[in-house]
Amino acid sequence: MRRFAVLLVLAAVALAVLLGAPFVGPTEISLESVLQGPRAGGAARIFWTIRVPRVAVAFLAGMGLAVSGMAFQAMFRNPLATPFTLGVASGASLGAAAYLYASAALAVAWPAGLPVAAFCGALAAVGLVYGLTRLRKGFATDTLLLAGVAVAFFFSSLIVCLQYLSDPFDSFRILRWLMGGLSDTVGYRGVWTLGPLALLGSALIGSFTRELNLLTTGEDLAASRGVAVGRVKHLLFFGASLTVGGVVSVCGPIGFVGLMSPHICRLLTGPDHRTLTPATLLFGGAFLVVCDTLARAAFPLYSRLTAGALDYTEVPVGVITALLGGPFFLYLLLRGGRRAT
């Protein structure tokens, strides 16, 4: 009963965040102007063509990152596992960096080129990590983690090479992409790109709540209870990785959402994935929307209070999540160390 009440509260909070976030920003928007529709121009157009799609993309991205982090933590039985453990973010970032570098060198621009290149990089990372694990017998967790770390370092070094070869302007574009953000979200193309991937990936993970509960107790026990461990891990691995690849292809690499959200929700609902999964979906989506709202509203508010010149400057949301996630990561690391002793 308590878990159901927690889910209702989280659903109410997520709904309130979704309804309220589009009204927050440097331009004041009234409910009357919103009801006029986007064709009315002015504030209504900003609301419907910029803020609403941006909030929708943020919620989908946070939802996908959070539930993917939950799946990885259960599979690896590691509280520090994140959606970026397998090098998916590094692969997507390399694809985006390669596109930015090639488009500048060839003076050719394709509107959908950046997300497509980032998504192809994510798929390449998934395939490479999976291929490396198949070189050894079995599908051991330690092999998977080591392969992901190795691939992430390799792709990161290639990104540094591309930045070094680029001119200052293109190098800054690559750096800006690596920070992760939603400032380029205009219109609903990002929603249609990310929506199917995030929803399908979340549905796939949500269909294995029983198996996730058993995997957290150990693979041998899960197998003795009838779980096809290899098949389930394959499906969870690809579902979560493709979801993260879709997020990175639209928003860039946004870290720590998949680390913090599952842990906070475990404190609220307990470890049972039947309630933890919907709680993580709701909390992760609302959390990233709040972080993005803070990212685009903090600097304009500061400028107004101090009469500064940074009227429309905003912080990339990846910076906000990193500022929150870094101390949280250290807290988990220190807590684990104390438990070990």
Is residue 49 within 8 A of residue 267, CB to CB? The reply is no
What does residue 78 show for φ and ψ, rounded to 5 degrees? Answer: -130, 115
Residue 32: its H or E element: helix 31-35
DSSP 264-318: HHHHHH-S-HHHHHHHHHHHHHHHHHHHHHHHHHHHHHHHHHHT-S-SS----HH
Per-residue pLDDT at 26: 76
Average pLDDT score over residue span 117-130 = 80
Whether 300 has a pLDDT exceeding 70, the answer reads: no
Average pLDDT score over residue span 83-94 = 81
Per-residue pLDDT at 338: 46
Average pLDDT score over residue span 240-258 = 85
What distance separates the 2 farthest-apart alpha carbons in the chain? 66
Count: domains in the chain: 1
Per-residue pLDDT at 139: 55
Tell me, what DSSP letter sits at residue 225?
T
Tell me the three state secondary structure of residue 30: coil
Per-residue pLDDT at 150: 84
Whether 104 has a pLDDT exceeding 70, the answer reads: no
Whether 177 has a pLDDT exceeding 80, the answer reads: no
- Mean pLDDT for all residues in the chain: 82
What does residue 340 show for φ and ψ, rounded to 5 degrees? Answer: -65, -30
Lowest mean pLDDT among 27-31, 35-39, 144-148, 194-198: 35-39
Q: Which residue has the tokens 């060839």?
A: 106
Sequence-separated contacts (24+) of 214-222 with Cβ below 8 Å = 215/74, 215/75, 215/77, 216/74, 216/77, 216/271, 218/77
Which stretch, 219-223, 225-229, 243-247, 287-291, has highest mean pLDDT? 287-291
Whether 40 has a pLDDT exceeding 70, the answer reads: no
Q: Using one digit for the tens of pLDDT, what is the confidence trace for 149-170?
A: 888 889 989 998 988 888 888 7
Average pLDDT score over residue span 261-277 = 93
Q: Which residue has the tokens 């680029």?
A: 166
Per-residue pLDDT at 312: 55
Higher local confidence (pLDDT), 41 or 12: 12
Copy the structure tokens of residue 290: 């709040």
Ramachandran sector of residue 176 (left: φ over 0; alpha: ψ -120 to 50; beta: rest): alpha
> What Cα–Cα distance (Å) separates residue 232 from each residue in 12, 126, 184, 239?
32, 16, 36, 10
CB atoms within 10 A of CB 212: 25
Per-residue pLDDT at 341: 33
Tell me, what DSSP letter sits at residue 79?
T
Q: Can you give the pTM of this predicted structure?
A: 0.87
CATH of the domain at 301: 1.10.3470.10
Residue 78 corresponds to which amino acid? N
Average pLDDT score over residue span 42-47 = 81
Per-residue pLDDT at 37: 67
The boundaries of the domain holding residue 28 are 2-340
Per-residue pLDDT at 305: 55
> What Cα–Cα distance (Å) separates residue 71 from each residue in 49, 93, 163, 258?
33, 22, 33, 9
Percentage of residues of the chain with pLDDT beyond 90: 28
Q: Using one digit for the tens of pLDDT, what is the confidence trace for 186-204?
A: 888 889 889 988 999 899 9
